[in-house]
């Protein structure tokens, strides 16, 4: 019985994520989520309270999962630059593994009509930002990195990846790229990782 409840809860989350990616937050109703998941409205209310609760649960699960990955990287006995490069690899792979979700998240968080939901997600993401910030700050303090604006470095990394996902053809303007095509995705993924590793290495370690 307990397993059945867990399975139903997971089914709701998976169905909701699919619908949010396809039609956006506003375009998705709890009734649609119930139908897609095979659950009923009462179950959605019981587990999550509302559609917003479902959305926040999906976001928090993803943020927590990446947070665990970041903590493992930070605790590894390697240099600060190697840690940052592992962060870049992890972030690129995570975002490009589900570009539809990232586009949806980017779109929803850019809207102003749901400030309370945005603040909750921002607070959760802040924990992950702190770990990345610590990796760079530790590098500065130990003398392996230059004195830099840490948050701007993080913004550069994340902004570059988001831009590639939202406008992939700007990376290869003469070609038609499809991030749903595994071959195209592999090309973009490898270029993004190589570029960001080179960028951070030069910027953070070249003496000025």
- Looking at the fold, whether 92 and 147 belong to one and the same domain comes out as yes
Does position 121 have pLDDT exceeding 60, yes or no?
yes
Task: Note the pLDDT tens digit of each residue in 165-200.
Answer: 887 777 766 667 777 788 888 888 999 999 999 999
Do 43 and 63 reside in the same domain of the chain? Answer: no
* Spacing of C-alpha 77 from chain mean position: 25
Closest CA to 80 of 137, 25, 5: 137
CA gap 108, 59 in Å, rounded: 11
pTM of the full structure: 0.84
**Joined tokens for residue 40:** 């009923």
Tell me the HSE value of 14 on the side-chain side, using a 13 A CA sphere.
9
Query: Which residue range forms the structural domain that includes residue 200?
Result: 59-205
Q: Is residue 14 part of a domain?
A: yes
Q: Classify 49 in phi/psi space as left (phi over 0), alpha (psi -120 to 50) or beta.
A: left
Query: Cα-flanking dihedrals φ and ψ of residue 84, to 5°?
Result: -65, -40
**130 and 37 belong to one structural domain:** no
- 129: domain CATH number? 1.10.357.10
pLDDT cut 70: percent of the chain above it? 93
How many independent structural domains does the chain possess?
2
Taking the C-alpha atoms of residue 134 and residue 154, their distance in angstroms, rounded to an integer, is 11
Q: Read off the tokens for 132.
A: 């990345």
How many CB atoms are closer than 10 A to CB 194? Answer: 11
């Amino acid at each position: 019985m307990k397993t059945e409840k867990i399975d139903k809860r997971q089914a709701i989350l998976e169905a909701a994520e699919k619908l949010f990616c396809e039609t956006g937050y506003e375009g998705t109703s709890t009734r649609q989520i119930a139908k897609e998941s095979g659950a009923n409205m009462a179950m959605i209310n019981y587990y999550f309270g509302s559609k917003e609760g479902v959305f926040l649960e999906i976001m928090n699960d993803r943020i927590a999962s990446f947070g665990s990955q970041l903590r493992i990287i930070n605790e590894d006995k390697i240099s600060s630059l190697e840690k940052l490069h592992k962060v870049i690899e992890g972030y690129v792979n995570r975002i490009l593994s589900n570009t539809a979700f990232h586009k949806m998240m980017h779109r929803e968080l850019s809207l102003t009509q749901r400030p309370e939901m945005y603040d909750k997600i921002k607070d959760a993401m802040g924990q992950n930002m702190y770990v990345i910030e610590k990796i760079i700050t530790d590098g500065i303090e130990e003398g392996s990195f230059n004195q830099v604006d840490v948050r701007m470095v993080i913004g550069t990394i994340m902004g570059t990846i988001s831009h590639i996902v939202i406008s992939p053809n700007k990376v290869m303007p003469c070609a038609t790229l499809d991030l749903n095509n595994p071959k195209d995705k592999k090309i973009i993924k490898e270029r993004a990782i190589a570029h960001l590793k080179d960028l951070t290495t030069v910027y953070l370690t070249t003496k000025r």
